[in-house]
Amino acid sequence: MAVTTYRDAMREALREALHRDERVFLMGEDVGRYGGCYAVSKGLLAEFGEERIRDTPLSESAFVGAGIGAALGGLRPIVEIMTVNFSLLALDQLLNNAATLLHMSGGQFNVPLVVRMTTGAGRQLAAQHSHSLEGWYAHIPGLRLLAPATIEDARGMLWPALLDPDPVLIFEHNALYNVRGELADDAGAVDITRARLRRPGSDVALITYGGSLPKAIAAAERLASEGIDAAVVDLRSLRPLDDETILTAVAATHRAVVIDEGWRSGGLSAEIAARISELAFWELDAPVRRVCSAEVPVPYARHLEEAALPQTDEIVAVARELVHGHD
Amino acid sequence: MATTDFCMPVLGADMERGIVAQWRVGPGDEVHRGDVIAVIETEKSDLDVEVFQDGWIDRLLVPEGEEVAVGAPLARIRVLDAGADPSSTPPLDQHPEPGAVPTPPGAAAATPAVHSPLLRRLAERSGVDLAHVTGTGPAGSITRADVERAASRPGTGTAARTLASPYARRLAADRSLALAGITGTGANGAIVAADVLRAIEEAGPSSGRDAGPSRPQPRRDAADRARSLRRALGDLMSRSKREIPHYYASTVVDLAAATAWLQDVNAARTVQNRMVPAALLLHAAVAGAMEQATMNGHWMDGSFRPAEGVQLGVAVSLREGGLVAPVIRDAHLLDRDQLMLALRDLVTRARRGSIRASEMVDPTITVTNLGDLGVDAIFGVIYPPQVAIVGFGSITEQPRAVEGMLAVHPTVTVTVSADHRVSDGRDAARFLSVVARTLQNPEQP
């Protein structure tokens, strides 16, 4: 066991992949000389050289497209997009090329591309750098979406993502990079197909992922002190969703709160709530509730930003209301 | 207002005819979706049959004791058209001509009333049913004042509509408990699961389930019934052996860890809440079925259709002889405690003969457990259209070689009979290894 950070765990995952497979390389804006805008790839240029740690121009569509070409050509590219906000410039490449080529080629061409990007708010980076758009990508067949929320997953999701013959998008919440915790010395690849029950419980299931997981766990601890036994489900894979784990938690608790930093309307939280009512309707003892971001561009001012995002207080209040029938 | 026919349902894969053993309703009775309205006698057992519409019984078309083919109309039910005002139900004509059901004036022309969310919220908060409020606003629309006036009048509460959570409804329906008599403590006074559980507890054991009006049952004598049951089972099993190329596999599982774990768990429990080994066995069978898809599903029209979840058939022997295999639905979503409760409930009711028709939906795999009868191992015959049956023998202490030493451990022999059209020995081996692994790692949920 050693104490490390989410950022260092992610860097270790990159180093492992670069060492294990010569076909793996990293490219993106400022990943080389600057060390990555969140310092994830710091030191990798010196260790692996310019061939494998490649700085790109500010041109998301071009370098994601280049990544798709490299993947088709037999390499295993890891493309870093600075934040999900900028990924929209490459949306055409991701949706119309990466996600569809296998289908369009009649099953001939897989695109073994991995794209990493940060997502989420909380660092006063204002509306153009703070959104949580992973729910949009979760709409697209042909993509696998991962959201590592723990140090173990930051360390372990990259390698299995590279082994996937089809495109995988990894969403790293920017508030998690500084999280410190213990990591087993032999930590390595993890299962990327299943959600995980981070905390068992019998009264209400808090279903969440990524940057909201620590808030949900804090809420569960507060609820426990009030005598409410809350389960916490970490989705981990946003597409495909692990229905079984979600439904098992709902069947055990009969109440569910979905916490998603994305906007409520048409969001991933809506999809999860819909699945629960389709597949576990007769298990429900209360309506499915959602705690999401306010439907505004994420504000810059700290107090406004905090007010716009899902917070532990609100999760506690909503869960309490579900269990007691009133606040 | 429209009418619909309630027809003889299919209560088993091979059912062709059924006898109306008993009507639980008569003409003019109001019925709701999920109400048990008749008891149907099949060759295999008596089943409570539920209605799927809300409405009123117009007339019964088949007298008690008569046998008819599947699909034959048994009763005519008047159902409300969507949007019609339930308050404008006409007094029922007890002897209507067939096909000449009177239409209430206005019902056909009635359009669904549209109320603002504010109004609906206000109505809900104050327990007023808007369908019963007379509007004084423009074009007869309901205003806020109308709702407040209705709320202040005694006796205009939500009698017409009971708020209850889906889970509470399911719990109540499973026990044939009427929601009307239960006090709700949830939001807006809705009945939640805790309220139903409290009502069940207050009603005491065994009441509730038989809450329907009981009428004397015309039954064929017991010996006759037993003969018929035996014949039906014989036909089914003959068909199975004729059509299904069975193959068999078995393994002996060491239950030392499971037994120790059970003792640990039970040390903290009261006698009636103690977990029984059968719960662990069922749980392991479900785990095996989930992992080995070729054991779980149906052979239909010449091909295998794997099932997504596990509908677990449990063979229950009846006191008068014969066998039924009611199902524990969605067993893959249940933990060991829930499986135990489901099993206990099912066995009690199967032996009492009050299995609901919805519980006779086709299981995807069946378990037979002859352990308590002292049998070492049982190789079952597959129930078509299923493709496997799991057998558990009795748990006995046996000498085992453990790490080079002789030890005495509790063991059980687990068998599986499977359909060679669907799976091979390797699948059965994998299935048994999952069952064994699950039993040997009881601390995993």
Neighbours of A230 (CB within 10 A): 29
For the stretch B297-346, pLDDT in tens is 999 888 999 998 999 998 887 766 667 778 888 899 999 888 888 888 88
- Measured CA to CA, the distance from residue A309 to residue A298 in angstroms comes to 8
Query: Mean pLDDT lowest for which of A95-104, A269-278, B194-203?
Result: B194-203
Give the nearest partner residue to B185 out of A254, A282, A325, using CB atoms: A325
The confidence band for B2, taking pLDDT boundaries of 50, 70 and 90, is: confident
| pLDDT mean across residues, chain B | 79
For the stretch B359-413, pLDDT in tens is 666 789 999 988 778 888 999 999 888 999 999 999 999 998 888 989 999 999 9
> For the residues B188-201, what does the mean pLDDT come to?
88
- Structure tokens that stand for A17 in this block: 């992949």
Asked if pLDDT for residue B97 goes beyond 70, the answer is no
Contacts of A199 in chain B (CB under 8 A): none
Asked if pLDDT for residue A296 goes beyond 50, the answer is yes
The confidence score (pLDDT) of residue B81 equals: 56
Q: Which residue of A has its CA nearest to B192?
A: A285
> For the residues A296-314, what does the mean pLDDT come to?
97
Contacts of B445 in chain A (CB under 8 A): 200
Neighbours of B180 (CB within 10 A): 8
Asked if pLDDT for residue B156 goes beyond 50, the answer is no
- Measured CA to CA, the distance from residue B322 to residue B231 in angstroms comes to 9
Query: Mean pLDDT lowest for which of A118-127, A198-207, B269-278?
Result: B269-278
Neighbours of A20 (CB within 10 A): 12
> For the residues A265-286, what does the mean pLDDT come to?
96
> For the residues B88-114, what does the mean pLDDT come to?
42
The confidence score (pLDDT) of residue B56 equals: 85
The confidence score (pLDDT) of residue B83 equals: 44
> For the residues A87-107, what does the mean pLDDT come to?
97
A325–B165 CB contact, under 8 Å: no
The confidence band for A327, taking pLDDT boundaries of 50, 70 and 90, is: low
Check whether the bond before A200 is cis (ω within 30° of 0): no
Quickly count helices (H) and strands (E) in chain A. Answer: 14, 14
Contact indicator for B131, B158 with CB cutoff of 8 Å:
no
> For the residues A150-167, what does the mean pLDDT come to?
98
In angstroms, what separates the C-alpha of A3 from chain B's closest C-alpha?
28
The confidence score (pLDDT) of residue B359 equals: 64
The confidence score (pLDDT) of residue A139 equals: 97
> For the residues A285-296, what does the mean pLDDT come to?
96
**Which residues lie closer than 8 Å to B313 by C-beta, 6 or more apart?**
B325, B326, B327, B363, B364, B365, B366, B367, B383, B386
Nearest to B32, CA basis, from B2, B49, B48, B54: B54
Q: Which residue has the higher pLDDT, B207 or B346?
A: B346
In angstroms, what separates the C-alpha of A234 from chain B's closest C-alpha?
17
- Measured CA to CA, the distance from residue A12 to residue B229 in angstroms comes to 67
The confidence score (pLDDT) of residue B210 equals: 43
The confidence score (pLDDT) of residue A7 equals: 97
Give the nearest partner residue to B168 out of A247, A281, A285, using CB atoms: A285
What CATH fold (topology level) applies to the domain A196-324? Answer: Rossmann fold (3.40.50)
First and final CA of chain A: distance in angstroms? 42
- Measured CA to CA, the distance from residue B30 to residue B23 in angstroms comes to 14
CA contacts within 13 A on the Cβ side of B181: 12
Contacts of B186 in chain A (CB under 8 A): 285-286, 325
Maximum average pLDDT range among B20-24, B176-180, B414-418: B414-418
The confidence score (pLDDT) of residue B86 equals: 42
A254–B186 CB contact, under 8 Å: no
3-state SS record for B17-55: EEEEEEECCCCCCEECCCCEEEEEECCCCEEEEECCCCE
**What class is the A2-183 domain?**
alpha beta
| pLDDT mean across residues, chain A | 96
The confidence score (pLDDT) of residue B276 equals: 87
Query: Mean pLDDT lowest for which of A142-156, A305-319, B116-130?
Result: B116-130
Give the nearest partner residue to B186 out of A248, A281, A325, using CB atoms: A325
For the stretch B110-122, pLDDT in tens is 444 567 667 777 7
The confidence score (pLDDT) of residue B35 equals: 85
For the stretch B241-269, pLDDT in tens is 989 999 999 999 999 999 999 998 888 88
Amino acid at site A252: A
The confidence band for B236, taking pLDDT boundaries of 50, 70 and 90, is: confident
The confidence score (pLDDT) of residue B225 equals: 66
Q: Which residue has the higher pLDDT, B153 or A318?
A: A318
Query: Mean pLDDT lowest for which of B9-23, B135-149, B192-206, B294-308?
Result: B135-149
The confidence score (pLDDT) of residue B205 equals: 56
Asked if pLDDT for residue B226 goes beyond 80, the answer is no
Q: Is the pTM of this model over 0.80?
A: no
Preferred mutation among B170, B333, B334 to probe A, highest tally of A CBs within 10 A: B333
Same CATH fold assignment for domains A2-183 and A196-324:
yes
Contacts of A281 in chain B (CB under 8 A): 166
In angstroms, what separates the C-alpha of A8 from chain B's closest C-alpha?
32
Percent of chain B past pLDDT 90, that is, above it, reads: 26
Asked if pLDDT for residue A36 goes beyond 70, the answer is yes
Q: Which residue of A has its CA nearest to B309?
A: A244
Contact indicator for B346, B282 with CB cutoff of 8 Å:
no
- Measured CA to CA, the distance from residue A125 to residue A119 in angstroms comes to 11
The confidence band for B153, taking pLDDT boundaries of 50, 70 and 90, is: low
Q: Which residue has the higher pLDDT, B327 or A157?
A: A157
> For the residues B137-155, what does the mean pLDDT come to?
68
The confidence band for A23, taking pLDDT boundaries of 50, 70 and 90, is: very high
Asked if pLDDT for residue B103 goes beyond 70, the answer is no
Q: Which residue has the higher pLDDT, A192 or B135?
A: A192
Taking the domains of chain A in order of start, what are their residue ranges?
Answer: 2-183, 196-324
Preferred mutation among A196, A278, A282 to probe B, highest tally of B CBs within 10 A: A282
- Measured CA to CA, the distance from residue B280 to residue B258 in angstroms comes to 8
Catalytic amino acids of A? 60, 129
Q: Which residue of B has its CA nearest to A323?
A: B186
Percent of chain B past pLDDT 70, that is, above it, reads: 78
Question: φ, ψ for residue A232 (rounded to 5)?
Answer: -125, 120
Asked if pLDDT for residue A56 goes beyond 70, the answer is yes
For the stretch A214-234, pLDDT in tens is 999 999 999 999 999 999 999
> For the residues A88-116, what does the mean pLDDT come to?
97
Interface of A with B (CB under 8 A): 200, 244, 247-248, 251-252, 254, 281-286, 321, 325-326
CA angle B160/B163/B165 to nearest 5° reads: 150
> For the residues B109-137, what does the mean pLDDT come to?
66
Helix or strand or coil: residue A73? coil
In angstroms, what separates the C-alpha of A310 from chain B's closest C-alpha?
23
Asked if pLDDT for residue B54 goes beyond 80, the answer is yes
